[in-house]
Structure 1
């Protein structure tokens, strides 16, 4: 059973082009998605946000946060498809989050979808990372 293995998700690592990419990414994730900056240098940044609970499985949040690390790289290969994770965030207000993301350079990838369980959207951050947004139905 995974829960007894002692393994937990700690953070996702995004690689971006140079110091300008780190600053642009920090601005986007902090101001569009509301993530908290933990540390930020020219070539590295770490941001945090609360971990979503999973009531159906009996798992709940504790004082831990999801950590997003952003690293400056110079090699084009490190920025290629297949090197970057797809990030997914639960949101309370899809429309306002998408509007803020668009104002800060995010590009929505297709229409917002409305399955029975809520709203789902995909967008590309200014640094090229794919982000999934999910707003549960009330």
Structure 2
């Protein structure tokens, strides 16, 4: 003869095991989702910063090269001042087409006998914001 109490106890244990297994499965699924989200966020953030640093270096090299060419081609201080004014107004437009960044050229000084130009510039793309002073000498290149 089969006892009812034994069958009832086995059924209750089976239900507890099933509920425990489902609970553990949900916990593991939650951990995996959170871990994946953290990895994705780190990957996206790191890539943006690396590209921004590289773009800052590119902007600085372009400014040095462009100003050096203007110094070499200018016939005098007033001609260089006019060319630098045009360069300052046009350069930010060219950088905006390549990458969403704001490049602002500020105060400049010209030492014509030494063919040296000093320019303040500011770079901001949301990830990196920097302000620097750039000194360009046509005969020696940039320091």
Superposition TM-score, scaled by structure 2 size: 0.32
Which one has a larger percent helix, Structure 1 or Structure 2? 2
Which one has a larger percent strand, Structure 1 or Structure 2? 1
The structure showing larger relative contact order (alpha-carbon pairs under 8 Å, at least 6 residues apart) is 1
